[in-house]
Structure 1
């Protein structure tokens, strides 16, 4: 029989370290308020170019609108939470650190796996989008798109290897340029807005022009509404690099 005084299953042990352990491993503090703003907006802004638009097919204009409101409320709560936790635990683990502190090693481990999945898959989606844009601009054949992907990966990885200062400065400039492009697009597209075009999806049985796929379309549009805010949760990862 097993000893009731001992819990079953895998155990995790902690190693005590000296006080200077973390001091020797601290990251260089460079980022100010403007750099953090650019990092957050720059992380999110790709979703304003593409990704969200598939929600129109999934839920129609009304479905995507309601889904976006729901996701907005969720991200407001998330932003307040990570802002408070990043100030209380200013180390670069981000959500992994928060989960490990609150739920123990296994909670941190699972959260870390989820974070890794997000930060592996999201850049892949973004470089595919970049490849599509560059291919259209330079009129290269579709077979060349993997080369654009490699160029984008090499550029972004190279900037991070180069150092935190150049990475933050690059994020500021690229964010300002992206905002300018969106502003030009919005101003240019605004005179052409037409409600008839927004509601031109043929409704399914039981649906309407506003909700062409019914109330279920709201649920279908939720993953695409996330693109408006996706990756803002990466900001706490820069906690140790903030002044």
Structure 2
């Protein structure tokens, strides 16, 4: 049995992962969960793999707990800043860490397709990323949208931070050549819809993923956790889980 511990167990994703563990036939058990204000030291020690879907402010503490217990950790928390990625890089020298903006297997494959399309279509095609989420989501663009943007930028040999354009408003002028645009829609109970639109002369190509409920992310997180168990220290992504280059 592989014991899974959850940071952020009372949140939407934490509850979905706990339910997926209960329904799983993959030899998984629920080691327990902790939330804001609760100590996670005991959980980190008894879990075989930790999954974190809490909040960026809690990430440093959770990484410290994972390192102290020598327990691998899957990080699905979004809204991370540059400092958080430094912390993840440092933790990955001691333990196996898998960080992703989306644990869906479909989104992981979509990102690979986006990178390939961006590389093959070339700079004459404009790229726009549109995402829709439920009204309670607090960060924008979504972690998934940024993941897809990174894939597009990588396909063109660019750095996303140098080409990203978000929230156009007012008299913006003509579109900058080579930019990657983002639009975020919020409302209702949408689990997550993402489209990457490539716009050329007189033609468009749209690559999309629609999430019907959070169970797909929960199942992907568990697949990632099972894969991460036993891996050497290092920083991994969902691409490694699907063996994508």
Shorter-normalised TM range: under 0.3
- Using the size of structure 2 for normalisation, the TM-score is 0.25
Q: Which has the higher contact order (CA 8 A, sep 6+)?
A: 1
Please state which structure has a larger fraction of its residues in strand: 2
Please state which structure has a larger fraction of its residues in helix: 1
